[in-house]
Amino acid sequence: MPVHESHRHIKSSGARRPGGKVMKTIRSIARFAASLVLALPLGAMAEDIDIYDGLNGGSAPNVLFILDNAANFSSSAGNCQYTDGTAPTLNGTAGGIEQCALYNVLSSLPTGLKLNVGFMVYNSNNFTGFGCAAGGNGGCVIQPIVSMNDATSKNAMLAWIKRWQTSGNTADNIKASGEATAATVQEAWAYFTGKTGLSGRNYAGITPPNTGCQNNFVIFIGNAFTTAGTPGDGGSTSPSSALANAPGITSALKRNITVPSQCYGLFGGVGYKAFTPGTTSCGTVTAADNFCGTYSMGNHTDSSGLYADEWTRYMYQTDVNGVYGGSGQKIKTFTIGVMGPSCKADFPALLFSMASQGGGKYFPATSYQGIVDALGKIFNEVSAVNSVFSSSSLPVSVNTQGSYLNQIYMGMFRPDQGGNPRWLGNLKQYKFKWNASLNMLQLADSTGADAISSGDTGFISPNAISFWTSKNINDVPDSTGGFWIRNPQGAGVAFDSPDGEVVEKGGAAQQLRLANLLDNYASAAGSSSNPRRLYTYCPAGTGCATRLSDSTNAFATGNTAITNTMLGVAAADRDTLISWVRGQDNNNDELGPGGSVTVRPSIHGDVLHSRPVVLSYGGNPESVVVFYGGNDGVFHAVNGNQTASIGSVPPGGELWGLILPEFYGKLNRQRLNTPVLKLPSTNSALNPQPKDYFVDGSPGVFQQLNSDGTVNKSYLYLSMRRGGRFIYALDVSSPTDPKVLWKKSYTDAGMSELGQTWSRPKMAVVKGWNHPVLIFGAGYSPTQDDEPPTADNMGRGIFILDATNGDLIWSATPSNGATACTGTSTQASCQVSGMNFSIPSDVTPVDRDHDGYTDRLYVADTGGNVWRVDLEPTAGNTPDKWRVYKFAALGCGTGPCTSGVPRKFFYAPSVVAIGTSGSSTSYDAVMVGSGDREHPLYSTNANSAYAVTNRLYMLKDVKTGKDGSGLSTITEAALFNATSTQYDNTVSGFYITLGTGEKAVNAPLTMSGISYFGTNQPTLPSGVSCTANLGTARSYSMDMFTGAYRSVILEGGGLPPSPVSGIALVDGQKHSFCIGCIDQDSSKKSALENGSEEKDGKKKMSRTYWYKK
């Protein structure tokens, strides 16, 4: 199979240095994310997930409270006080604690918080408020939705709350004589849509504020303080008939919902819980748990109130405003159950279902403080959801290292639509198929159907079925209606298949759920009833066992070395958190299928930046394992085969997972799913925090084969990206028996400059060292996140380690003076003048004379500089002779920036050798593109405080020998402007200027004289669409000899993945491909599709990186 840059094969013959030739690798395809609008307020820091922030300017969300104001509203309850020390008019009742809570929460809303609020109640004949119809049917808009930013409107609403009465014919009376549970939900829909409610009121022309794409919410507060507190619908209305005739209704939306029969109540005051999933009796639940009993569902009748959850489902899945395109405006429902010691389960059961079906959450409460806490959590989500928008067009991390076996892997993620920190993710597998009419390969699903949508999303087809995805109606959970029965979406509805564009369905995530579906977390980890192989490393800190399967490395409740202090939780919560990480659904905030199923839907977290690494272990059929990191804390090893098991682990199944001890303190935030993420438009009053990262970088690989092709050694090198300033090396020579080799961090001698480990560790063979070496940039400095960036204080350098033991061999770090190199033949360093910017970029190794040894390196930094490192200069090839030169200074127009913000390079250059090394006409073409992907929302126009013009470059390195001494640093003055004029092959190369705000956002790839780049340009949001604005994504194809270029707009927008090329064996025939190499002639304009027809190259060129074998 072709050898890829993170996958080196070296055959062992007993010699210290391997011999023979191995091809230079092709870049792995990087993640395909999304990009959003430029016209948003920006905070003091930034990172690339800011692209998920903003929806048409962040209009104020509309919130409509529905109060259950029937008989139970007057049930006896505790006392409370307003913030001014006075008591409410309804003190001592359920309505009184709601009155207190609502007044105090609304009055304390921070100034500037975008929020519109109104109130609806069950209707009554004696109501005289706004929007109340005669007759007492349905609901009544007793307070229309108004802005909380308008002091007059806010104060009027607060004064009204203080005046509440439960009797009399005044506008202050809000007590109804009967229940109208489902009818009032229908009334809320009518109010939002301008239709007629079951009360008979026509809301045309008096709908809530509608300025474009704000989100709409219902917060239903139900009362179950006594046995009389149950749902119902009186009067002469028919919620079922109204639903059957609602606009856009489908048979699926008409289907009656079955609410689970189980125990409902408060457990520890933290929320809803089935005492044991599937429990139909509350027998062992104590009174201290405030349980409401076991729910037994009655018949669906118009008087039962049970159509309330069908209505919340309809509101959540239907656009309430057809004027705007995209996914439209929907109504999300949250519910609060106010429960007393004699409550019945009927109302909490229905309230839970209403929230589940309505896209929100249910919060039980027994007191004033419980209601306040619930409202605070809901308002956090309401405010955050208008700041974040997730789209189905979010493929993210693609790797084709298994391409020769025709196995294409995609790591995926989906941002939480409520701005919460827990993001879902997956790993899925596809393949190529040959399209004879187009003379090219195309991406296909497991059935051979087109994998890429024929629409304009640029992502996976809704009907595609990835490998490892199944539906089996004979087994749980499919036999009981499907795992997603309470959260249906996509073409598969309640089932995983077809998984289509739904990130969390199918793939490795489904296999992980199935493997742990019914786990008993009280059993010992590793037992048949709790089988997941989840490891950690040396939590005790001493006496470390390198074998991860050692009992001291078990991530399990039984491992006492993992303390609650390490996890950052109370002692009582230690086991709960560990079990949650292992997969238990114990936080009561997810929509699993219930019954006997104990696994949580979110067991697989987002694969955001980590590019999956694929290793083949030989055999017949060939055994393939995929390694990658997720931001749920787990580094995964997955059976990457399409049909063959590895031992007892099925295709797509997890062989093992690893949680590093450095991440213990981050895990509980994933479980609690709070606080919300800090994004540019997130209100600071919500106390947002940055996203947590784990093993989020892309692993490097060293693999050594025996002469018979079997595996001798396989090592992984884990980089963290924003997850940390360290690297772990793992021995995965036996994929089911992993071991820790070594760890390096910024605290190790000579490594203090190590920043966040973004640069992928690359293995190479060099003449000056007897073992393979590991090469990487020193990483990223978070000061680059500042706006504008401040001086870097880490990541300014290059490191070379011994790949087998982690010993530091050579480093280049900044100097306050002239460049100086010191050291010996076994360890050396260079202090480099001008190396002042962090280097998150991968390093590009070059084997110019094709002798199997790397003799040169290129790497770019965040200051617009490109560096060259010579490993075989004239003086010798040992580390003390290695030298580094500034090859190009392109940060500013005149070279190094003396002021202002420089251009930034985040990706490794593409290097192509032209001519014979050392000849007068030879040169090495270095292609690189600038763009600050960590500030994706910046327009970078001339009027911006962050004005940087980005460019695509071809730079000529005419010193094609092994010694670069005397090299003259290239600046823009030495380059030809080929933006509108063809390059004439003079000077030191050329550049192409990108559009206003446009940024290069992936690594270039050169094929047949054409260099491919991907860019993103922020665009203003449309005033007539509720679809997320992902910016304009383009694929550039640039002739590296003439500068002629073409670009094509990619479907779906966002950040296109780095293109990748190779050879795939399809139906017994070898075919070339280049995913992401899209131009005007490509059949589909998706960054995930193959864009390369099979055709001859236009000019003779050679690869720049070879190995012996």
815 lies in a domain?
yes
938: in domain: yes
pLDDT of the residue at 317? 86
Helix (H) or strand (E) holding 450: none
Q: Is the bond into 477 cis (omega within 30 degrees of 0)?
A: yes
pTM of the full structure: 0.82
> In terms of domains, do 850 and 716 share one?
yes
Residue 379: predicted pLDDT: 83
Q: What is the 3-state secondary structure (H, E, C) of 557-594?
A: CCCCCCCHHHHCCCHHHHHHHHHHHHCECCCCCCCCCC
Q: How far is CA 823 from CA 745, 764, 878, in A?
A: 21, 21, 10
| Domain final residue, candidates 328, 361, 385 | 385
Residue type for 1051, please? E
pLDDT recorded at residue 51: 62
pLDDT at 196: 95
Sheet holding 613-616, edge to edge: 534-535, 654-658, 635-639, 624-629, 613-616
In whole angstroms, give the CA distance from residue 68 to residue 952. Answer: 62
Domain assignment of residue 787, yes or no? yes
Where do the H-state alpha helices sit in 175-250?
A: 181-193, 239-244
Taking the C-alpha atoms of residue 733 and residue 472, their distance in angstroms, rounded to an integer, is 35
516 CB-side CA count, 13 A: 32
What tokens appear for 944 in the block?
A: 């911006």
Say yes or no: 850 and 727 in one domain. Answer: yes
Could you report the per-residue pLDDT of 642-686, keeping only the tens digit for each? 999 999 999 999 999 999 999 999 999 999 999 888 887 676 767
> Are 72 and 49 members of one domain?
no
Helix (H, G, I), strand (E, B) or coil at 369: helix
Best CA proximity match to 660, nearest among 571, 733, 729, 753: 729
CB atoms within 10 A of CB 283: 9
Q: What is the DSSP letter of 839?
A: B
Instruction: Classify the phi-psi angles of 1008: left when phi > 0, otherwise alpha if psi is within -120 to 50, otherwise beta.
Output: left
Side-chain half-sphere CA neighbours of 43 within 13 A: 19
Q: Are residues 377 and 413 in the same domain?
A: no
Q: Is the domain of 742 the same as that of 889?
A: yes
- Per residue in 986-1010, pLDDT tens? 999 999 999 999 999 999 999 989 9
pLDDT of residue 404: 67
Is the CB of residue 1029 less than 8 Å from the CB of residue 37? yes
**Beta 773-777 vs 263-265: how paired, if at all?**
unpaired
CA–CA separation, 910 and 646 (whole Å)? 37
Pairwise CA distance, residues 653 & 660, whole Å: 21
User: DSSP labels for 389-405?
Assistant: ---S--EEEEE-TTGGG
Report residue 248 as tokens.
Answer: 């856009």
Q: Does residue 86 share a domain with residue 29?
A: no
Based on the fold, state whether residues 329 and 344 are members of the same structural domain. Answer: yes
Q: Is 349 within the bounds of a domain?
A: yes
Same domain? 952 vs 990: yes
Q: Are 860 and 868 in contact (CB under 8 A)?
A: no
Residue 691 domain-assigned? yes
CATH number of the domain that residue 184 is part of: 3.40.50.410
Instruction: With residue 231 as reference, give the H or E element that holds it.
Output: none
373 and 400 together in one domain: no
Nearest to 245 by CA among 179, 198, 180, 306: 198
Distance between CA atoms of residues 153 and 141, nearest Å? 16
Is residue 482 domain-resident? no
Low-confidence ranges of the chain (pLDDT < 50): 1-44, 54-57, 267-280, 284-285, 287-288, 323-327, 385-403, 942-943, 945, 1096-1109
**Are 42 and 175 within one domain?**
no
Count of C-beta atoms within a 10 Å radius of residue 868: 21
For residues 261 and 279, what is the distance between their CA atoms, to the nearest angstrom?
A: 8
Q: Is residue 321 one of the residues assigned to a domain?
A: yes
pLDDT of residue 599: 98
Please list, in sequence order, all residues whose beta carbon lies within 8 angstroms of the beta carbon of residue 52, skipping any fewer than 6 positions away. 34, 36, 388, 389, 390, 415, 679, 1028
Tokens, residue 930: 């600038």
**DSSP letters of 284-319?**
T--GGGTEEEE-------TTSSTTHHHHHHHHHHS-
Could you tell me if residue 1025 is inside a domain? yes
Q: How many CB atoms lie within 10 A of CB 920?
A: 9
Checking 703-707 for CB contacts under 8 A at 24+ apart, the result is 703/7, 703/8, 703/9, 703/10, 703/615, 704/9, 704/10, 704/11, 704/12, 704/18, 705/9, 705/10, 705/11, 705/12, 706/11, 706/12, 707/11, 707/12, 707/13
Give me the DSSP letters along 1033-1091.
Answer: EEEEEEETTT--EEEEEPTT-SBPPPPEEEEEEETTEEEEEEET---TT-SS--TTSB-
Residues 6+ apart with CB under 8 A from 1040: 912, 925, 927, 954, 1006, 1009, 1010, 1011
Q: Are 1098 and 444 in contact (CB under 8 A)?
A: no
Q: Is residue 779 located within the same domain as residue 854?
A: yes
**36 lies in the same domain as 95:** no
Q: String of b and e for 289-304 (b: at least 16 CB within 10 Å)? A: bbbbbbbebeebebeb
| Structural domain containing residue 415 | 9-54+392-423+659-1075
Q: What integer pLDDT is reported at residue 1027 of this predicted model? A: 56
> Look-up: residue for tokens 């919460």?
420
- How many domains is the chain partitioned into structurally? 2
pLDDT the model gives residue 904? 95
Whether residue 840 is preceded by a cis peptide bond, meaning omega within 30 degrees of 0, is no
